[in-house]
A and B are shown apart, each in its own frame.
Chain A
Amino acid sequence: GQQLNQSPQSMFIQEGEDVSMNCTSSSIFNTWLWYKQDPGEGPVLLIALYKAGELTSNGRLTAQFGTTRKDSFLNISASIPSDVGIYFCAGQVPGGYQKVTFGTGTKLQVIP
C-alpha cells in the first residue's frame, strides 16, 4: 500500500521563525492535503492541493503539490505559539474510492 513519509518527525523552533516540512510518497497522488491536529482532537484541514505544481497559501501557511505528484511541502511563516501541534500530510490516490492515506506526522513545538 501507499506510504507517506514526513520529515522532520519533530521540531523545536523559536517564535517568529519560519518552518518547513515535507512529505514524500512511494506512489502518485492526485490530491494532497495538509492537516493540523491538536491533542485529543480530530485533524483540521489547512490546505488542499489538486494539481501538480500548484502552490496555495492560507494566511501564513503555504503548501505546494510537487511536480512528480509524489511529494508536497508545507511552509509556515513567522510562527506563533498557537502553531504548536502535529501536522499531517495526506494523499488521495486516483480511483481509490476517495480514501485518504495519512503521513507519519510532524510534531511542531514553538518556543515563545
Chain B
Amino acid sequence: GAVVSQHPSRVICKSGTSVKIECRSLDFQATTMFWYRQFPKQSLMLMATSNEGSKATYEQGVEKDKFLINHASLTLSTLTVTSAHPEDSSFYICSALGYGYTFGSGTRLTVV
C-alpha cells in the first residue's frame, strides 16, 4: 500500500531558529501534498496545499513567510518553520494524494 514517511518524528528547537520537516511518498508519486497542524485535543487544521513544481496554496490565516513549503519533486515536500516561537509548538502532519489520501506519522515540534 501507499506509504508516506515524515521526518523527524519529534524535534525540540530554540526560539528564533528554523526547523525543516520532510514528507516523502515512498512507493508512489504525489503531485499534491497537504500540510496540517494539530494542537492538543483538537482536530487537524489544513495549513497549505503543496503542488509539485509550483507555489503552495496557503489557507487563510497561515503566514506563508513563516511556514515555507517546497515541493521540488514528485516524492518530497518540505515544511520549514522559520523563526520558530513557542506558540508554533504543535503536531505537524503531512498527507500525500496518490491512492487516496495517505498521512505521514507526524512531527511533534516543541519550541523552547
Q: How many residues of A contact B (CB 8 A)?
A: 20
Stretch at the interface among B14-22, B67-75, B104-112: B104-112
**B104 contact set on A, CB distance < 8 A:** 42
Judge whether A40 and B101 touch: CB under 8 Å. Answer: no
Please, how many angstroms separate the alpha-carbon atoms of A97 and B46 in the complex?
Answer: 13
Query: For the complex, is A100 an interface residue (Cβ under 8 Å from B)?
Result: yes
Number of A-B contacts (CB under 8 A): 49
Q: Decide yes or no: A41 and B105 within 8 Å by CB, A100-B34, A104-B43 being known contacts.
A: yes
* Contact A42-B6, Cβ < 8 Å, known A99-B34, A100-B34: yes
Partner of B103, one of A42, A98, A101: A42
Q: Which residues of B lie under 8 Å from residue A103 when comparing CB positions?
A: 43
- Name 11 A/B residue pairs within 8 A (Cβ), A-sorted: A41-B105, A42-B6, A42-B106, A43-B93, A43-B103, A44-B103, A45-B101, A98-B97, A100-B95, A101-B46, A103-B43
A-B contact sample (16 more), CB < 8 A, given A1-B60, A42-B104, A105-B42: A33-B101, A35-B103, A40-B91, A42-B93, A42-B106, A43-B44, A43-B103, A88-B43, A88-B44, A97-B57, A98-B32, A99-B34, A99-B49, A100-B46, A100-B95, A105-B43
